[in-house]
Amino acid sequence: MIKTRLVKLLSHTKKYIVQMVLWQWIALLGQIAAIFSIGRMVDCILMHQMSDQVILTTFMVLVVAVAIRFLCDQMATRASFAASVDVKRILREKIYEKLLCLGASYREHVSTSEVVQMSTEGVEQLEIYFAENPIDGEKFVNQVLVNKRSRESAEKQRLNIKKKLSGNIDISNRVQKFVDCRSKDVEKREIYIVEGDSALGSVKLSRDAEYQGIMPVRGKILNCLKADYARIFKSEIITDLIRVLGCGVEIQNKHVKDLAAFDLNNLRWSKVVICTDGDVDGFQIRTLILTMLYRLTPTLIQQGYVYIAETPLFEINCGDKTWFAYSDKEKADIVKALEGKKYKIDRSKGLGENDPDMMSLTTMNPDTRRLIKVNPTDLEATREMFDVLLGNDLEGRKRFIKENGSRYLAAADIS
């Protein structure tokens, strides 16, 4: 069968082979003529019979011989190339024709059992060949691994480039309700993560638009210690927060598609300030945001970029003076100092109800605000506390509440 195919291929390229041989013979004759001309010129020089006519004739014969040699080589090369192209074209056409015939008649002539049988026989034959030729088998496996790694590396590079290019787009146009600041100096920029749209309004009016940005959180986010990565990265609130931060996530997972790998140099802010109400709901939202940062970007916490803004619980007015109390103890101390005077105590109901001057004085102004830096000294103890309070260890959480609940009973919101 193979011999028949070779004969057919040779018959198609016969004319090119004949042309190639013919041009090679003519080139050889031209080379002989050139050698003869050179020999004739040498003889005339040795016999001192040089004349203008002899020199001219010999030179012309030599030039013609060299030209014939050059042209013959070119024509022979062209014939050889045409023959090779014709062979490739014929092979390609034959293979394409066979594939068309196979594809058209495959389902009519081949059953599923026959496919399984052919596949099994092919695998067995391949195993036998690799067993008899271990060097070839090793080369084959190594090439497969090289192709796999190259494909994965190229895909990873493509995704990283896509994420970097998309990260250069203005974030304020991509994240809903995010309010950016004017400054581009990362050392000055601060991002306030606030609770809800109502807080967004008051914080926006009281901020310094030069270096303070705002990102509102719509309600309580997922508990990122209990939720799996598929749910986490489907949450728009969480992905928007990560995009606003700009540093990416410290997670290698198939569900991380549109978020870049973590790079602290890409962080857009010098401070990440969590600003929530001073009630139980505000504490829960603050804890959930901290949990998200702990699981997805723990380096921000370890390097001291995360802060908590304390908001006052009470506003105490006496005459033209005003005091702010951040706890019941501070309120009691202020009231005790005002004993005998007429004063008024107003409890803060939420950030959204605070006037801009109060927000600026107590929460936004760097000279008068209170910021708590989240900077754990014992990483192992921090991890254990997060796991106990927010993880899946229900029994451990019950045990912790039983042993330590009495310490926080006074602060519990029980009605």
Q: Annotated catalytic sites, by residue?
A: 195, 277, 279, 281
d(Cα 147, Cα 287) in Å, to the nearest integer?
A: 46
Contact 363, 326 (CB under 8 A): no
Count of CB atoms situated within 10 Å of the CB of 224 = 23
Can you say whether residue 256 is alpha, beta or left, with left for phi > 0 and alpha for psi between -120 and 50 degrees?
Answer: beta
Contact 364, 203 (CB under 8 A): yes
Residue with tokens 């042309």: 19
| Greatest C-alpha distance within the chain | 144
Pairing label, strands 306-309, 212-217:
unpaired
d(Cα 324, Cα 334) in Å, to the nearest integer?
A: 9
Amino acid at 11: S
Q: How far is CA 324 from the centre of its chain?
A: 47
- Each as own residue / partner, the long-range contacts of residues 325-332 (CB below 8 Å, 24 or more positions apart, any chain) are 326/278, 326/370
Pairing label, strands 314-318, 344-347:
antiparallel
d(Cα 122, Cα 167) in Å, to the nearest integer?
A: 49
